[in-house]
Structure 1
Amino acid sequence: MTGEINILPLPQTTPAATRPLAISGELLKLLTPIEGLITTGQTARAEVLSLKQADQTFQLLLKVTLESGRQTTVQATSNLPLAQGTSIAVTQPSAGNLAITVQQALASSVATLTRLDTAQLPVGTLLQGKVLTSQVLPQVPGQPTVFRSMVSLLNTALSGSTLSIDSPQPLRIGTLLSAQVQDTQTLKFVPLSNRQEQLAVTQQLVSQSSRQGSLNGLLTLLQNLPPSDQTSSDLRAAVDRLLAGLPDVQQLSTPKGLAQALANSGAFLETKLLTGQNPTLAPDMKADLLKLIAQLTPGLPASTNLSAIIAANTLAQAMPSFVRNALGMLGQVSAKPSPTDFPLPERLLQSAEGEDDLEHLLRLAAAAVSRLQSHQLSSLEQSGVTSDGRLMSTWQLEIPMRNLQDIVPLQIKFQREETPEKEQQHERRDEQEPRQQLWRVELAFDMEPLGPMQIQAQLIKGSLSSQLWAERPYTASLIENNLAALRQRLLASGLNVGDLDCHHGKPPQGPQTRLEQRWVDETA
């Protein structure tokens, strides 16, 4: 469900805007009558521990503290939705009832949040909450029907607080809501399924990290794979296809060659499948790895423990349907994405004791699939809406490229920020010019004799700025001496060049804030 919901202040009196208060001194009915819980003429303090709506009434669990200090819990029903955490004073006119005064009833309703402090929760903040109650308000002639709900907040500094909201549509009790703060009294719904997909992405990304392994470990082994009775002709063909699809430095130096390498990196395999393309018509790193795994599996000894090895392969086979759902969240509202580790660190898997060559090869191939999927899931995790409302899309991938006899993994991350369409239309009216997209590109590779390097570039309105880092002093000095020539070549390409600097070492790693991961399943 999408649309806006309003946070409206509850009135201080009892007109038609709220549910009429049945003030009779017997607002709370005990489900189990208790004689003499509170002695005549005395008052006890009670705290609402939980609230549950049942048709037109509300079931409460109260913790009652008597004047003696003794505490007990009781269950009661009420005509008022008393928010969890509300503290009230009660008396007991009879064994089956607890009474609170009119003033206390109104105060407990007003105690729920009726507006948001945008200094504490800036515009764009994602709120998550669980619907506790839902009531239709008396309809005003000529006005649409309004439904009032109480929502228990599950994230931010207001976690545990109760928010009173009005909505043009009824909110099902017990469901989880995600909404973005628009102003002090307006929220915008975010489709829940997309937020659940975000959680699924994060969980899968965590599990992938323990299974993934560097691509060059597998590819180097395949290059030197000795002939044996265990290697069938089909396996050899799968290996040859995989190695033949690797681009070289010259190919990646041309726009067409780079575009082809990006398309064949495996990052877009699921997209190809969803659009009906046949991935066998062109090299695809991930598809070729899966074919290699399919050729390796039948040749393994029957005693081989494949549970851990095939885990990545199983997920890979499930990825098309998984990504079909997860891709739906791109461009949707999410908490401010935090950068996932980039580049992924090198991770080489050693042969286990008693493991034969094919078992080790299969484990390396499964780890390589996991590594590609780690990049894919990182892309999904870092796509969403920034704190200032700009749409961010991320594509992170890895291309093994040939450099003479070596295979050098080139890790790449593209990020695009753009203004939402509604804001773009507003800017076109004010400025007569749409805001340009902002592109960021990060590269990471380790190529001899340069050693490990990282490059960060930013492009907006035809203006390029870039920072380069080299871990070897010689490389940093070499690049520094050639920056002027690089600037001239960029200018000759039609770009405006801003900052262009080279540093010795690694890029600084700023603080990272993980995406909100606290969730309640509506079926729980």
Structure 2
Amino acid sequence: MTEINSLGAQSAFAAQVAKASLTGELLRLSQAQPGLIPPGQTAQAEVLNLRQVGQDFMMLLRLSLPNGNQAQVQASANQPLPPGSQITLGQADSNRLAVVLQQASASNIATLTQLDTGKIPIGTLLQGKVLTSQALPGSAAQTTAFRSLVSLLNSSQAGATLTIDSPRPLAVGSLLSALVQGDQSLRFMPLSGRQDQLTIAQQLLTQTSRQASLPTLLNALQQIANAPAGNSELSATAARLLASLPTPAQLGDAKSIAQALNNSGAFLEAKLLGGLGAGVAPDLKAQLVRLVAQVLPSVPGNPTFNPALAATALAQVLPGMARSALGMLDQVSSRPQPGTFPLPSRLLQSLEEKGDLQQLLRLAAAAISRVQSHQLASLQQTGTTESGNQQTTWQTEIPLRHGQEFIPLQAKLQREDTPRQQADSQREQRDPLESLWRIDLAFDLPPLGPLQVQAQLTQGRLSGQLWAERPQTAELIDSQLGSLRERLLARGLDVGDLECHPGIPPQGPRTRLEQRWVDETA
């Protein structure tokens, strides 16, 4: 230390400038200012503002010059200096300043790498703005990480800058909302995403309160189709809809199952957006919409409706129109909790007379609401998990014909991908089995009673649990699990645990869907 202090000012500064050149701690002035800092001297500076432009970082500096004057200059650098940073600068040449020393005092810390949970308790909702985002250097085998500077906008630490490492880049200028989980842990909450989720939840609550189980309508249609005399056009529509329903025996291969899922009504809007208007004929939801369009003009007291418009304007005959015309569906009792799986059975009074078109319209509108409840539940459960994985959910219901009865099979499929798998999603050779798949089934099959199945498939390994509400059914299934395991092994699967339990699965959220990352520009 003594030897360094004994060096002349010019030689000491030259060594510091050389070090700054090697470490990249040089600031490029936006405009050349020769003689701003006299040779061999330094100036104190404070970073007033920081913004990122591409890969460069633009900063506004306030300099306290050796002659006692102050000046504000704009400079750019390869590395960011957070607002509030105190630095000592020397002038390398007319276009560049060299960072000789970066200072931090107790009252003005440049950046926070951890939070004081005494000042910001766990559970506090922080709001901030992303100032910068950089990819951190790492080997090709390592997962890419990003470092961002985030300026806090609220709490007792408002104005401070956080240094945040994340597996994904944060958009510069975006607004963030995050919950404090620890001194070095935050969970980011979406802004627009939370609004979307709130809208979905509200719509789901409305649809769930108006829906009813499909067998009630299907039994009514079977009654109409079998009537010897009546509306021939309506009877033909009912017969076509019933004939399009699969039987349990027809779901014996993957192609038939995929076709049944595709026609369950869950993908009607996607088909229409994709220009497949002519290919929606067997879709359950489309057939229900056509049924509403056919019945509505004949209901006393309703406005005239042209059924010919149904093919080109399906949205005009969705349940909202039937509800506004009838105003009766909200009178049904016992509202089930939205977002639950399986969707509980909900029965409306069936047809008392074959010509009761008003009741038939109620049943059809309630059936469409049930399909929409499954669609909205899929959206509600699709998003980014707390671990940063992308989860996609498809929830639907397939009515099966079993003799003269109808058995609704409820199904929920979830696919979960890690960030690295998402980055590789464009690769054609990617194996879908690399993802984590969850499959939930619920059905009531006579004489076994209500059954639920939860299975998980990852890397070719399958494990599952079954629940039977009837104890004797649980005993029967448990005795057959060995045979099921053998059949699965014969299909080339690596089988893990297989268990059967009496009762129903534990209730409650199994996977929380708070989204960690948000791209909400200011």
Bin the TM-score by the shorter chain: 0.5 to 0.7
C-alpha displacement of 1:450: 0.8
Q: Secondary structure at the match of 1:477?
A: helix
Which residue in 2 is equivalent to 1:436? 434
Find out whether 1:418 has 2:417 as its counterpart: yes
Q: Secondary structure at the match of 1:507?
A: coil
Counterpart CA distance in 1 for 2:433 and 2:455 is 19
Which residue in 2 is equivalent to 1:313? 319
Counterpart CA distance in 1 for 2:111 and 2:207 is 40
Find out whether 1:17 has 2:51 as its counterpart: no
Which residue in 2 is equivalent to 1:385? 384
Question: Alpha carbon RMSD of aligned pairs, Å?
Answer: 5.0
Which residue in 2 is equivalent to 1:493? 491
Q: Which amino acid aligns with 2:408?
A: P
Deviations 1:91-119 (A, max 9, x none): xxxxxxxxxxxxxxx96x87x99555499
Counterpart CA distance in 1 for 2:356 and 2:432 is 58
Q: Secondary structure at the match of 1:301?
A: coil
Counterpart CA distance in 1 for 2:286 and 2:245 is 13
Q: Secondary structure at the match of 2:198?
A: helix
Contact 2:410 2:442 in 1 (8 A): yes
Q: Which amino acid aligns with 1:252?
A: L
Counterpart CA distance in 1 for 2:281 and 2:473 is 36
Counterpart CA distance in 1 for 2:321 and 2:301 is 22
Which residue in 2 is equivalent to 1:450? 448
Which residue in 2 is equivalent to 1:256? 255
Q: Secondary structure at the match of 2:48?
A: coil
Q: Which stretch shifts more, 459-468 or 198-207?
A: 198-207
Which residue in 2 is equivalent to 1:331? none
TM-score (norm 1): 0.58
Find out whether 1:201 has 2:207 as its counterpart: no
Q: In the TM superposition, what are the counterparts of 1:15-414 in structure 2 within 5 Å?
A: 15-18=45-48, 114=112, 117=115, 129=127, 150-152=152-154, 162=158, 164-165=160-161, 169-170=172-173, 177-178=176-177, 193-225=192-224, 232-280=231-279, 282-302=281-301, 313-314=319-320, 340-350=339-349, 357-414=356-413
TM-score (norm 2): 0.59
C-alpha displacement of 1:196: 3.1
C-alpha displacement of 1:398: 0.3
Counterpart CA distance in 1 for 2:370 and 2:494 is 36
Which residue in 2 is equivalent to 1:65? none
Q: 1:423 to 1:417 in 2, by over 3 A?
A: closer
C-alpha displacement of 1:451: 0.6
Q: Which amino acid aligns with 1:16?
A: E
Q: Which amino acid aligns with 2:482?
A: A
C-alpha displacement of 1:462: 1.3
Deviations 1:28-48 (A, max 9, x none): xxxxxxxxxxxxxxxxxxxxx
Gapped regions of structure 2 (runs ≥ 5): 1-43, 50-60, 63-82, 85-105, 133-147, 163-169, 306-315, 324-337, 425-430
Counterpart CA distance in 1 for 2:158 and 2:229 is 65
Deviations 1:268-293 (A, max 9, x none): 11111111112555400111111111
Deviations 1:382-427 (A, max 9, x none): 11122222211111100000112210000001111111137877xx
Counterpart CA distance in 2 for 1:292 and 1:356 is 15
Which residue in 1 is equivalent to 2:11? none
C-alpha displacement of 1:501: 1.2
Deviations 1:166-192 (A, max 9, x none): 898556xxxx64579999899999985
Moved over 6 A (4+): 125-128, 179-191, 226-230, 351-356, 422-425, 512-517
Counterpart CA distance in 1 for 2:411 and 2:116 is 37
Q: 1:508 to 1:409 in 2, by over 3 A?
A: same
Counterpart CA distance in 2 for 1:223 and 1:129 is 57
Q: Which stretch shifts more, 408-417 or 234-243?
A: 234-243
Contact 1:464 1:496 in 2 (8 A): yes
Contact 1:408 1:446 in 2 (8 A): yes
Counterpart CA distance in 2 for 1:435 and 1:296 is 46
Q: 1:365 to 1:163 in 2, by over 3 A?
A: farther
Counterpart CA distance in 2 for 1:246 and 1:150 is 57
Deviations 1:241-287 (A, max 9, x none): 21111000011122111111011000011111111112555400111
Q: 1:349 to 1:135 in 2, by over 3 A?
A: same
Q: Which stretch shifts more, 267-276 or 195-204?
A: 195-204
Q: 1:516 to 1:152 in 2, by over 3 A?
A: farther
Q: Which stretch shifts more, 289-298 or 273-282?
A: 273-282
Counterpart CA distance in 1 for 2:483 and 2:352 is 53
Counterpart CA distance in 2 for 1:459 and 1:301 is 53
Q: 1:177 to 1:492 in 2, by over 3 A?
A: same
Q: 1:447 to 1:117 in 2, by over 3 A?
A: farther
Q: Secondary structure at the match of 2:197?
A: helix
Residue 506 of structure 1, aligned match among 480, 504, 507: 504
Rg bigger for which structure?
A: 2
Q: Secondary structure at the match of 1:16?
A: strand
Which residue in 2 is equivalent to 1:101? none
Q: 1:118 to 1:230 in 2, by over 3 A?
A: farther
Q: 1:514 to 1:484 in 2, by over 3 A?
A: closer
Counterpart CA distance in 1 for 2:117 and 2:413 is 32
Counterpart CA distance in 2 for 1:490 and 1:255 is 14
C-alpha displacement of 1:349: 1.5
Counterpart CA distance in 2 for 1:151 and 1:178 is 10
Q: 1:280 to 1:298 in 2, by over 3 A?
A: farther
Q: Secondary structure at the match of 1:452?
A: strand
Q: 1:127 to 1:260 in 2, by over 3 A?
A: farther
Q: Secondary structure at the match of 2:211?
A: coil
Contact 2:485 2:495 in 1 (8 A): yes
Counterpart CA distance in 1 for 2:227 and 2:369 is 27
Q: Which stretch shifts more, 448-457 or 414-423?
A: 414-423
Q: Which amino acid aligns with 1:473?
A: P
C-alpha displacement of 1:489: 0.8
Q: In the TM superposition, what are the counterparts of 1:452-491 in structure 2 within 5 Å?
A: 452-491=450-489
Counterpart CA distance in 2 for 1:303 and 1:256 is 42
C-alpha displacement of 1:314: 3.0
